[in-house]
Structure 1
């Protein structure tokens, strides 16, 4: 899907180990799966090295950490119509975290022909 023009960026700030109710997968995986299944233009998960949220506890990646609960951000860019359609479902999955929406202009969003079927 090629998207250009007015768009929106949704950022979802959550913990790496957060899960949706009834799911065994990390919440970020469930969010990406939902967005892909519903035809979103594109989304990426970024893993933070350190951060804190509403609880003000600092989470820091250290070599000795076996299973850290680091901050992650799922960033999704799409048309305002897609964001309006999917955001309520995304919001319902996020029980602890922050969701922001920014207006932007999508200058170019294309993919290689070989990726169209994947």
Structure 2
């Protein structure tokens, strides 16, 4: 798959302890993105944050470190990302879903050719 130029970035911010059928929610999102044939997905664990509940979660306090923020970031063409977004309606009860336009400058796998599988 070649990915270059204008694209759409989907960011889903959920809690680390959020689950879908006894599986981490972030993992379910990544596996569904993979099954949908999207260009890629990455998960980033936050060290501190708060959301709509206004409760600050931080890795510095053991009592509050159980539900740190986790972001799943997916980048692909606008058409493919927008087609994937409805799948999140079923998965994300609490969290934040963002879409923003980005420009892909380089998308290269280990094979060295643009779009090669990593």
C-alpha deviation, 1:104, in angstroms: 1.2
C-alpha deviation, 1:65, in angstroms: 5.3
Q: SS of 1:113's equivalent? A: coil
C-alpha deviation, 1:18, in angstroms: 0.6
Structure 1: stretches of 5+ with no match in the other structure: none
Structure 2: stretches of 5+ with no match in the other structure: none
What value does the CA root-mean-square deviation take over the aligned residues?
Answer: 2.0
**TM-score normalised over the length of structure 1:** 0.88
Q: 1:14-48: per-residue Cα shift (whole Å, max 9, x none)?
A: 0001112xx11110000000001111111111000
**TM-score normalised over the length of structure 2:** 0.88
* Equivalent residue number for residue 54 of structure 1: 52
| Equivalent residues in 2 for 1:1-118, closer than 5 Å | 1-20=1-20, 23-62=21-60, 64=62, 68-113=66-111, 116=117
Q: How many residue pairs are counted as aligned between the two chains?
A: 115
Q: CA distance change for structure 1 residues 57 and 10 in 2, over 3 Å: closer, same or farther?
A: same
Q: SS of 2:17's equivalent? A: coil
C-alpha deviation, 1:82, in angstroms: 0.6
Q: CA distance change for structure 1 residues 100 and 66 in 2, over 3 Å: closer, same or farther?
A: closer
